[in-house]
Amino acid sequence: MKSEPEEFSIDDLRQCPNQTEPWNGVRNYQARNLIRDEMQKGDLAFFYHSSCAEPGIAGIMTITSSAYPDPTAFDPKGKYYDLKSRRDAPTWYLVDVKFKRKMKCIIPLGELKDHKPLQRMKLLQRGSRLSVMPVSQREWDYILKLE
């Protein structure tokens, strides 16, 4: 799951109450589908820092809820407002995430690209811009060994 650290970083998540935060603001249908249909309470996710000096995997978090409607879509004054999402027919969903740990060091995007077993990761596909992407068990385990 991607976030721009200047907006919201792994350290910001660690400092949240109960180290938990709703992962709101996802406004892409593919990402929405992954959140709504694929994520389960108890799953783990990498926290990826994007659009920054050192893009890469910064830490690990736990999904602590199943998907529920993103309330920020209902707030006309908020930057994530979307009038087509209605309370009786929500368009956008989110999950709650909880800080688990930081990586010992950020695992840079450039390093991930160097490893053949990772070359099929969604993150590394050309033009891939999704803010939420699947990671296979095999990729997950391999990345943990890069620390």
Partner DNA sequence: GCCAACGTTGGC
Which range in 10-18, 51-59, 70-78, 134-142 contacts DNA by CB under 7 A?
51-59
* Structure tokens that stand for 45 in this block: 């996710």
Q: Binding of DNA at residue 140 (CB under 7 A)?
A: no
- The residue behind tokens 């529920």 is 68
Which range in 12-20, 34-42, 45-53, 85-93 contacts DNA by CB under 7 A?
45-53
Please pick, from the candidates 29, 44, 81, 141, the single residue that binds DNA as defined by CB under 7 A: 29
- At its nearest, how many Å lie between DNA and the CB of residue 17? 26
User: In terms of CB distance, is 41 or 129 closer to DNA?
Assistant: 129
Helices (H), the chain: 10-14, 29-33, 109-112, 137-144
User: In terms of CB distance, is 110 or 134 closer to DNA?
Assistant: 110
Q: Binding of DNA at residue 50 (CB under 7 A)?
A: yes
- Whether the Cβ atoms of residue 102 and residue 57 lie closer than 8 Å to each other: no
Distance CA 64, CA 44 (A): 9
- Whether the Cβ atoms of residue 7 and residue 51 lie closer than 8 Å to each other: no
Strand 56-63 vs strand 44-49: parallel, antiparallel, or unpaired? antiparallel
User: In terms of CB distance, is 37 or 42 closer to DNA?
Assistant: 37
Which range in 10-18, 39-47, 89-97, 108-116 contacts DNA by CB under 7 A?
108-116
Q: Binding of DNA at residue 120 (CB under 7 A)?
A: no
Q: Where are the beta strands (DSSP E) in the chain?
A: 2-3, 20-22, 44-49, 56-63, 68-69, 93-94, 96-108
Query: Which residues form the interface with DNA (CB under 7 A)?
Result: 2, 4, 28-30, 50-52, 55, 109-110, 113, 125-131
